[in-house]
Each structure stands twice: as C-alpha cells, then as structure tokens.
Amino acid sequence: MKRSRICAIAISLCLAAIGFAQEPQEKKVNNKNIPAAVTAAAAKEFPKATIKGWSKETEDGKTFYEAEMVEGQTKRDVLFLPDGKVDLVEEEIARPSIPAAVQSALKARYPKAEIDLAEKLTKDGTEQYELHLKKAPKKEIVFTPDGKFIKEE
C-alpha cells in the first residue's frame, strides 16, 4: 500500500513537471541581446512608441521577443519573431472601446463579472478582445469583435 502511494506521488510529480515545461518560458533581456532585425522592426512599426523593456519567450519550441511599449497613454506588448516579423500585438484599451457585442457576450456569460483590464489582440490582421476579470469564475476570457467566445482561463 505504501509503495503504490509513493508511485502515485512520483507519477503526479512527473506529470506536473511535464506540464510546467510546456508553459511559455519568459525572461527579461537587455536591448543589446535582441536581434537587430527585431529592434529595427520595432522602430519601423511603432516609431512613436517608447520601449520600456524586452523579454525573450519560448513557446512550443518557437522563440519570440516581446517589447513592452508605451505610446502616449497607450500601453502595448508586441511579440516579434527573430526575423523581425510582428507575431502578436496586445494593446490595452479603455472600457468604452470594447465593442458592444463583446460587452453583451461577457454579461450573458458572467453577469457579475467586472473588467479589470481590457486588451485588443491583433494577430495576422485578426482582432480579438481579451478581458481580465474580477468577480468571475475565470480570470481571463477572449472574444471576437462580434462577441463570439474563443477561450477562457
């Protein structure tokens, strides 16, 4: 009995380690450690933005460089591939900028939810809205601009 319990614990720990290993790995990096193609692309695509910091992420074996930017009152995180191509833009938006269909879909799904942070995600020309929630069973939820549910965490 004791041996089977130890085996069960060992298996659980191994499975947890595998799951953790597949999570995106992110670490802060200095500007000098960013590929020239990435810094050039950031300057070209977002010429008025101030870059507050960089991080390097690895997800599913792919490497990304994330720039944390501010442009006026707009906060934005941009994921670049090593060749400088923009992969994803996450831009904080004010609550009034959230499409009405997204607000309605959230209210229908979680009537008591409060939006803590709203972001417009743009990838390959496609927009989605990620809402960080309070007073809801999930912390994040993503919708298309027309209110179609995508995912939640």
Of the candidates 149, 138, 137, 135, the one whose C-alpha atom is nearest the C-alpha of residue 105 is 149
- In angstroms, rounded to a whole number, what is the distance separating the alpha carbons of residues 25 and 71? 27
pTM above 0.85, yes or no: no
Q: What is the pLDDT along the chain (153 residues), one digit of tens a residue?
A: 455 444 334 344 444 444 444 456 888 888 889 999 999 999 999 999 999 999 999 999 999 999 999 999 999 999 999 999 999 999 999 999 999 999 999 999 999 999 999 999 999 999 999 999 999 999 999 999 999 999 999
For residue 72, what pLDDT is reported? 94
Provide long-range contacts, Cβ within 8 A and 24+ apart, for 85-88.
85/41, 86/41, 86/45, 87/123, 88/121, 88/122, 88/123
CB-neighbour burial class of residue 118 (10 A; exposed 0-12, middle 13-18, buried 19+): buried
